[in-house]
Amino acid sequence: MKKRAFSLLFVLSAFLFTTACSFPRVIILKDPLTPEEHLNLGVTYEQQGDFDNAIKEYNLAAKNLPRAFLYLGNAHFQKGEWKKAEGYYRLAIEKEPANADAHNNLAWLYFTRRERLDEAEKLAQKALELNPGKGDLYRDTLIKVREIKKVPAQ
């Protein structure tokens, strides 16, 4: 009897242990963060130099916030991933043609890489046209591109 009670107790305790240790699965049906919050979190990661986590957050934001493609371009630029940065800047321009920063940053990428300088000049000029309020910044890009092309700045 003692042996049978012990066996039953062992089986019961083993059952309770395995079911008690099973954690319920939590399924999140809705992202608790807004696209803007993902973007802000990505900026925080980027400021800390954590570009991989910044990129993850920017990708989540980009699902509903086209501006996030500019931030994806910036993060990849910081990582030296030129083709990815270029692709995201182009996507930012495609999704938001009036995004002057995307035009300027793509121009800066080309200036930095010393490639496609004619296009870089056009992009920087377009940024100036789109947002004269940031004229000093965009003009700096334009001047630098023109200097490297040996074209006098206006």
- Looking at the structure, do residues 43 and 75 belong to the same domain, yes or no? yes
116: left (phi over 0), alpha (psi -120 to 50) or beta: left
Residue 154 lies in a domain: yes
Residue 12 lies in a domain: no
Helix, strand, coil percent content, the chain, rounded in steps of 5: 75, 0, 25
pLDDT, position 31: 80
Q: What is the 3-state secondary structure (H, E, C) of 82-136?
A: HHHHHHHHHHHHHHCCCCHHHHHHHHHHHHHHCCCHHHHHHHHHHHHHHCHHHHH
Last residue of a domain, one of 79, 96, 113: 96
Residue 139 lies in a domain: yes
Domain that holds residue 85: 35-96
- Looking at the structure, do residues 53 and 79 belong to the same domain, yes or no? yes
DSSP output for 44-73: HHHHTT-HHHHHHHHHHHHTT-TTHHHHHH
Residue 20 lies in a domain: no
Q: Determine the 3-state secondary structure of 38 from DSSP.
A: helix
- Looking at the structure, do residues 107 and 66 belong to the same domain, yes or no? no
**pLDDT > 50? residue 148:** yes
Q: Quick one: average pLDDT of 29-37?
A: 89
Residue 123 pLDDT class (50, 70, 90 cuts): very high
Last residue of a domain, one of 47, 64, 96: 96
Mean pLDDT score across all residues of the chain: 87
Q: What's the total number of domains in the chain?
A: 2
The CATH number of the domain holding residue 75 is: 1.25.40.10
Per residue in 38-63, pLDDT tens?
999 999 999 999 999 999 999 999 99
Residue 24 lies in a domain: no
- Looking at the structure, do residues 82 and 130 belong to the same domain, yes or no? no
